[in-house]
Structure formats: C-alpha cells, structure tokens
C-alpha cells in the first residue's frame, strides 16, 4: 500500500478513489472453497488515543469447532483521517500486520466491515483480500450502500442486498430480536457462498464467531493489554 498523507488534499483523495477503482477490478467472485476450511480467521479494527492509534486484531480459529487457536493484535499510528468511503485505507495497515503475525495463514478471513458492498466495490474485506490473496468476506453491522427488504425475525432469515442493479451481498438476521448484519464477499468468494460460510460461523451471538472474537480484542472488551 502506498504511503498515505497525514493531511490529504483533494488531489490525494481523488488519487485514493482512483486506486480503489483499480483494486476493485482485481476482486474475484469465483469460489475457491465452499465449506469452512480447517483454519479461518476473524479480523476487526478499533482506535485508541482519540483515534491517533489504530488497533487491529486477528484471531485464528479451527474450522470444525470454531475454537480459538491463536490471536494477535497490531497497534500502529493511524494512517489516514476518517473519510467516508475511504475507511479501508485507514484500517488496512494495522489489519494486515495483525493478520501477518498469525503463525498459520488462514484459508478464509471474515472481516468486520464491507466487501464489495461499497460505493466503488472495495470495502475493507475486498481491499484486504486483494492485498493478501486470501478469500475474504465482509460482515458489517450497518449498511453502507444498497437497497433491501428487511429479513424475517428468525435466525438465518436473509434477503438480497442490491446496489446499482447488482446483488452485492445479503442482509442476515443472525439472532432473533437483533439488528441484521450485512454480508458481502470480499475476494475469491461468490455472493451465494459468502452467506453459507457466514451462517456456518454463527454461534450464540449476533456476530459470527471469527469477527466476534476479533471485535473483543480490537475494542479491548476482553480486558487484555495491547500486544503485537
């Protein structure tokens, strides 16, 4: 990833948006797996020091049991101010570092954020997927783009998410009486398979286990000290 300006100019922002479009063209929606692999990971990112430090967590899980095998946290100076639509550039340096610190490379990564359900088709899950070459899926807590009908009230109920006459993901009720999640493929995963893989990762909570565990670390809700 190129060096990012601390105080981006309008020209800088145009260049980053153009880069997003070029990277989005590299996203593949062809499946390289259709079931949970032996090793998968969850990645999430938070911020410390009033946003000056980016804190990303990567958690490696066993595919059969969804039990944690390893976790890593990376803390870096925040690369870019918050700019709508360019969040992946802000989060990616620390997220990529945390993922690289895992002793075993996962065969699938679930990312707290969007995949292709993004104005230029490159949310954090798509950006991380293109950078790493790993199959990635975005699981976001709120909508960024797209139109949809609200899914039914039961766990597993889902409806398509559409953007510019194209299905870019799913709206998923992962737990009764909870707000829906927004699932979209990031890289090397198709739209249909992104849903089935996320469903396979659901436990007792609203978030699928990989991103739930990463969220706890990234937001420090597990009580552990910073590491990595």
Binding residues for Mg(2+): 44, 112
Of 129, 9, 132, 24, nearest to 80 by C-alpha is 9
* Tokens linked to 181: 């999640």
Distance CA 67, CA 190 (A): 25
Beta strands, E only, the chain: 39-48, 53-62, 68-77, 109-112, 136-140, 158-163, 166-172, 181-187
Q: With 0-12 CB in 10 A as exposed, 13-18 as middle and 19+ as buried, what is 28?
A: middle
CA distance 182 to 65: 24
In whole angstroms, what is the distance from residue 5 CA to residue 81 CA? 9
Show binding-site residues: 44, 112
Edge to edge, the sheet with strand 136-140 lists 68-77, 53-62, 39-48, 109-112, 136-140, 181-187, 166-172, 158-163
């Amino acid at each position: 990833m190129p060096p990012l300006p601390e105080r981006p100019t309008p020209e800088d922002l145009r260049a980053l948006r153009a880069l997003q479009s070029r990277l989005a063209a590299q996203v593949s929606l062809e499946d390289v797996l259709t079931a949970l692999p032996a090793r998968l990971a969850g990645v999430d990112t938070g911020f410390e020091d009033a946003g000056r430090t980016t804190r990303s967590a990567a958690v490696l899980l066993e595919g059969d049991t969804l039990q944690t095998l390893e976790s890593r946290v990376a803390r870096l100076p925040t690369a870019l101010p918050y700019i709508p639509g360019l969040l992946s550039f802000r989060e990616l340096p620390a997220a990529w570092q945390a993922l690289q610190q895992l002793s075993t490379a996962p065969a699938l990564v679930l990312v707290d954020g969007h995949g292709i359900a993004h104005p230029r088709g490159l949310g954090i899950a798509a950006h991380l997927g293109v950078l790493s070459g790993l199959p990635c899926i975005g699981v976001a807590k709120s909508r960024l783009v797209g139109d949809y009908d609200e899914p039914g009230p039961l766990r597993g109920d889902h409806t398509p998410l559409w953007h510019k006459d194209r299905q870019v993901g799913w709206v998923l009720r992962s737990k009764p009486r909870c707000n829906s999640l927004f699932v979209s493929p990031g890289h090397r995963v198709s739209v249909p398979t992104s849903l089935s893989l996320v469903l396979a990762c659901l436990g007792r909570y609203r978030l699928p286990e990989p991103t739930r565990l990463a969220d706890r670390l990234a937001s420090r809700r597990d009580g552990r000290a910073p590491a990595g």
